[in-house]
């Protein structure tokens, strides 16, 4: 008997019809002799709908109350799915994050899971029950409801799978696996049978929202057997592989990710002395704003220009913090651009191949796309461009790296 954790995303539980279909699917796997823990997201569009209502009241939402609000979406789907399972003759039981006791820190809206109490789930599983858990949510040590960041149900599922030492964690979504690029943008993209954990980690962190980055981190830390599949059709999906060696005939690049949710800020003419980077970024970090790419250049007059990217939602607040810092440091001024996108190529093959970055730059040049920032690591190259060229860049790179030709 295997213990399987399955997660169904928003589109997969987006209507009563879909919830009934998921219940049927779960019943079949249960009937085959497996123990089942199901994690569900809110119905598609629901989390956004709730956030929109809150924004109508205030643009500056109190974070604690925002979590009380958005966590309701998942509470609806756990109840509906359980009802559908019970109608099918199953013994099923729903749990909110707090009822399981998925304990997190108190960072509302981006909480991190610290501990999962598996005792209630284990007792119910032993009685043959199917467990349905609300994704995306937990509680802090004082019982306040927290949420894990957008796309966080993936993380709930992988963390539960790790805590329960599940035999497999299946992420069911609206695509049938991990593709070489977002299939909504690149019709020629193809599903990969396998992707290495390292590549998946990069793709997720660079914008491929098919798996939340925290979910991939958890999976790697606890070596959770993880697969991404479609809830709409049967198929093998994509396995996240922890093997170091891999078939050599693979393409150099595994995939392309894009993120049009960033903004760039520059503080110019900063007198260059030790501690400058800390003075500039200290205030940004204190506000809890994530800084991604950073570039610093020294000019001939011994001043420095300092550029970095932040999530687009934090652009205005980062800009006003920086304006104050600029005055304090006697810098020349602050400029910004909130219509940029980051496009990245990712692949383990980069470790052993040269000329990868150059092919990327040449391809973008041929399309007349200007590169505003570049950053590299061992297995990725990212560029920042005007966001209006995102789709063109992703498609051109997909072709240039021959990702349309299935190699595996
Ligand atoms: P769910 O609601 O099931 O969690 P998401 O919308 O969060 O689903 O994630 C699935 C979506 O991720 C797909 O519909 C697809 O558009 C997008 N996506 C982006 N990059 C990729 C990729 N490389 N492979 C597959 N899907 C991707
Ligand atoms: N409902 C949450 C969201 O829309 C969590 C999730 O779907 O994973 O972000
Ligand atoms: Mg998702």
DSSP states of 161-222: HHHTT-SEEEEEESSSS-BSS-TTT-TT--B-SEEEHHHHHHHHHTT-TTS-HHHHHHHHHH
Of the bound ligands, which one is closest to the alpha carbon of residue 254?
A: 1
Which pLDDT score is estimated for 81?
98
Which pLDDT score is estimated for 208?
96
Among 44, 208, 210, the mutation site with the greatest number of ligand 1 atoms within 8 A of its Cβ is: 210
By alpha-carbon position, which residue is closest to atom 9 of ligand 2?
150
pTM for the predicted model, two decimal places: 0.94
Distance CA 391, CA 386 (A): 11
What residues are neighbours of ligand 3 (ion), with CB under 5 Å?
9, 151
pLDDT, mean of residues 161-172: 98
Is residue 407 very low, low, confident or very high in pLDDT (cuts 50, 70, 90)?
low
pLDDT, mean of residues 344-348: 95
CA of 182 to the centre of ligand 1 (A): 7
Percent of the chain at pLDDT exceeding 90: 90
- Looking at ligand 2, which atom is closest to the CA of residue 74? 1
Sign of CA dihedral 27, 28, 31, 32: negative
Which pLDDT score is estimated for 288?
85
Cβ atoms of residues 231 and 17 within 8 Å: no
pLDDT, mean of residues 35-56: 98
Which pLDDT score is estimated for 247?
54
By alpha-carbon position, which residue is closest to atom 5 of ligand 2?
151
- Looking at ligand 2, which atom is closest to the CA of residue 136? 5
CA of 286 to the centre of ligand 1 (A): 32
By alpha-carbon position, which residue is closest to atom 11 of ligand 1?
210
Q: Which residue carries 């009802």 as its tokens?
A: 83
Neighbour count for residue 78 (Cβ, 10 Å): 26
- Looking at ligand 2, which atom is closest to the CA of residue 48? 4
Cβ atoms of residues 258 and 343 within 8 Å: yes
Residues in the chain: 408
Helix (H) or strand (E) holding 381: strand 380-386
Distance CA 290, CA 149 (A): 13
Say yes or no to pLDDT of 10 above 80.
yes
Concatenated DSSP letters of 267-321: EEEEE--TTHHHHHHHHHHHTTPPP--EEEEE-TTSEEEEEEEEEGGGHHHHHHH
pLDDT, tens digit (0-9, with 9 covering 90-100), for 247-291: 544 668 999 999 999 999 999 999 988 898 999 999 999 988 999
Q: Is 175's C-beta closer than 6 angstroms to any atom of ligand 1?
A: yes
Percent of the chain at pLDDT exceeding 70: 97
Q: Give the CA diameter of the chain.
A: 77
Which pLDDT score is estimated for 178?
98
Say yes or no to pLDDT of 246 above 60.
no
Distance CA 19, CA 9 (A): 11
Of the bound ligands, which one is closest to the alpha carbon of residue 147?
A: 2
Which pLDDT score is estimated for 207?
95
Say yes or no to pLDDT of 354 above 70.
yes
> Which residues line ligand 2 at a C-beta cut-off of 6 Å?
9-10, 41-42, 47, 73, 135-136, 150-154
By alpha-carbon position, which residue is closest to atom 17 of ligand 1?
210
Which pLDDT score is estimated for 406?
67
Distance CA 180, CA 174 (A): 16
Which pLDDT score is estimated for 220?
96
Phi first, then psi: what are they for 106, rounded to 5°? -100, 10
Query: All domains of the chain, ordered by start, with CATH?
Result: 3-174 (3.40.1160.10), 256-400 (3.30.2130.10)
Q: How far is CA 168 from CA 5, 93, 212, 284, 355, in A?
A: 6, 20, 17, 40, 38
Which pLDDT score is estimated for 249?
47
pLDDT, mean of residues 128-138: 98
Output Rg (C-alpha) for the chain, integer angstroms: 23
The least confident of 23-32, 111-120, 245-254, 299-308 is 245-254
Of the bound ligands, which one is closest to the alpha carbon of residue 256?
A: 1
Distance CA 211, CA 213 (A): 6
Cβ atoms of residues 318 and 310 within 8 Å: yes
Cβ atoms of residues 371 and 364 within 8 Å: yes
pLDDT, mean of residues 13-21: 98
The rounded mean pLDDT for the chain is: 95
Sign of CA dihedral 100, 103, 108, 112: negative
- Looking at ligand 2, which atom is closest to the CA of residue 148? 5
- Looking at ligand 2, which atom is closest to the CA of residue 156? 8
């Amino acid at each position: 008997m295997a213990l399987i954790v399955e997660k169904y995303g928003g589109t997969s539980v987006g209507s009563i019809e879909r919830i009934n279909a998921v219940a049927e699917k779960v019943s079949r796997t249960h009937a085959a002799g497996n123990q089942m823990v199901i994690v569900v997201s809110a119905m598609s569009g629901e989390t956004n709908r709730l956030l929109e209502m809150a924004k109508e009241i205030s643009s500056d939402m109190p974070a604690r109350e925002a979590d009380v609000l958005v966590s309701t979406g998942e509470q609806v789907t756990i109840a509906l799915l359980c009802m559908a399972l019970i109608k099918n003759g199953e013994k099923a039981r729903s749990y909110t994050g707090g009822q399981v006791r998925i304990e997190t820190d108190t960072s509302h809206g981006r909480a991190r899971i610290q501990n999962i109490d598996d005792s209630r789930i284990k007792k119910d599983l032993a009685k043959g029950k199917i467990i349905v858990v609300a994704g995306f949510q937990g509680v802090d040590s004082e019982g306040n409801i927290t949420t894990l960041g957008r796309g966080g149900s993936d993380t709930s599922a992988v963390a539960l799978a790790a805590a329960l030492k599940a035999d497999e964690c299946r992420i069911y979504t609206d695509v049938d696996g991990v593709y070489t690029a977002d299939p909504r943008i690149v019709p020629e993209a193809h599903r990969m049978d396998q992707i290495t954990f390292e590549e998946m980690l990069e793709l997720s962190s660079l914008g491929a929202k098919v798996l939340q980055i925290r979910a991939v981190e958890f999976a790697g830390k606890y070596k959770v057997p993880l697969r991404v599949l479609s809830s709409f059709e049967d198929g093998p999906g994509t396995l996240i592989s922890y093997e170091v060696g891999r078939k050599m005939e693979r393409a150099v690049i595994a995939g392309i990710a894009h993120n049009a949710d960033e903004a760039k800020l520059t503080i110019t003419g900063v007198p260059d002395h030790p501690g400058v980077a800390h003075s500039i970024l200290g205030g940004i970090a204190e506000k809890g704003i994530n800084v991604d790419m950073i570039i610093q250049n020294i000019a001939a007059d011994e001043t420095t220009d300092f550029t970095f990217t932040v999530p687009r939602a934090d652009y205005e607040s980062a800009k006003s913090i920086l304006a104050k810092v600029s005055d304090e440091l006697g810098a020349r001024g602050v400029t910004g651009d909130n219509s940029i996108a980051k496009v990245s190529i990712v692949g383990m093959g980069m470790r052993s191949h040269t000329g990868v970055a150059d092919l990327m730059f040449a391809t973008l040049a041929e399309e007349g796309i200007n590169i505003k920032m570049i950053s590299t690591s061992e297995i990725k190259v990212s560029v920042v461009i005007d966001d209006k060229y995102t789709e063109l860049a992703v498609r051109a790179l997909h072709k240039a790296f021959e990702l349309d030709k299935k190699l595996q």
